[in-house]
Amino acid sequence: MTARTIGVFDSGFGGLTVLRELLPLIPGAHYLYLGDTARLPYGSKSQATIARYAVESARFLQSRGAGHLVIACNTASALALDDIRSAVSVPVTGVIEPGAHSAWAALAQPGAQPPPAARPQDSIPSNSRQVLVLATQATVSSHAYHRACSRLGLRAVEKACPLLVPLVEEGWIDHPVTRQVIRIYLTEAIGEGSPDAVLLGCTHYPLIKHAIQAGLRALGHSIPVIDSAHSTAFDVARAMGVCLLGASCKPAPSVTFACYATDSVEKFARLGSQFLGQPIPHVELLDLGG
């Protein structure tokens, strides 16, 4: 059964948006979701600390039988994917490459094929399509999206938006302050440039996608806003050899999931259900020793 047990990891609740996309895609699977809520947010921490935390969580999920790991956290994917892959013996999927691929697909001509896997290019032609990546400070500092976009021939402009996670967690989803903060960040990021798409490089941001789209329109940029949850879920299904033809849009009845959190399980169940889009009946408290 471990081949059909999928471990999904995030520092908090945001990765539940990826689990939400996975549930209808892979019938018969059992999901283990771990939110390292006692130690969030990862986005303002150093690479060494993030890698240590993420490796502990990944090892826990493997020890509970996960046959595939999804690092549904942009910061951990950006800064710790190699460390995680070295620490476990099962396949690991992050969210950075699928996110960049989604941006490429949104901007490509119909029928185009992505360029073959290549090293990141130091110089991208100035007429390349430009992607504005909104993310945490740690993800931006890693330049992981810059490298992933560059491999696909896209120019990435990366913008740290440290207030967006606290605003989402405050519940100010459709709120004038959130709209104002988004407009400030977008204005700072866009400057004189003209992005062709915006990529949401943090799993909290899909909850304020409409506000980001409205902010872009107000600044005269009616461009696609892309998140990586959907394409990450498809990458996992492909990697597991799941037939995607006829995949239902609703969870198959046989799909089950268990949630673990390293801090308040009550808060996890309450806030997490907004991200997952369905009630979370039970959360188990987990002590990772931190």
Task: Decide if residue 263 touches a copy of itself (CB under 8 A).
Answer: yes
Q: How far is the CB of 172 from a copy of itself (least distance, A)?
A: 8
φ/ψ of 289, rounded to 5, equals: 85, 0
Per the rule left: phi > 0, alpha: psi between -120 and 50, beta: everything else, 200 is: beta
Taking CB under 8 A as the criterion, the residue among 28, 166, 193, 277 binding a copy of itself is 166
Of the pair 30, 45, the CB lying nearest a copy of itself is at 45
Taking CB under 8 A as the criterion, the residue among 3, 105, 112, 177 binding a copy of itself is 177
Nearest alpha-carbon partner for 23 in 284, 283, 248, 219: 248
Taking CB under 8 A as the criterion, the residue among 3, 28, 46, 193 binding a copy of itself is 46
Of the pair 184, 244, the CB lying nearest a copy of itself is at 184
| Total of residues contacting a copy of itself (CB under 8 A) | 25
Q: How far is the CB of 11 from a copy of itself (least distance, A)?
A: 12
Q: How far is the CB of 44 from a copy of itself (least distance, A)?
A: 7
Residues involved in catalysis: 73, 202
Stretch 18-37 residues interacting with a copy of itself (CB under 8 A): 37
Positions that interact with a copy of itself (CB under 8 A): 37-39, 44-46, 49, 162-163, 166-167, 169-170, 172, 176-177, 180-181, 184, 262-264, 267, 289-290
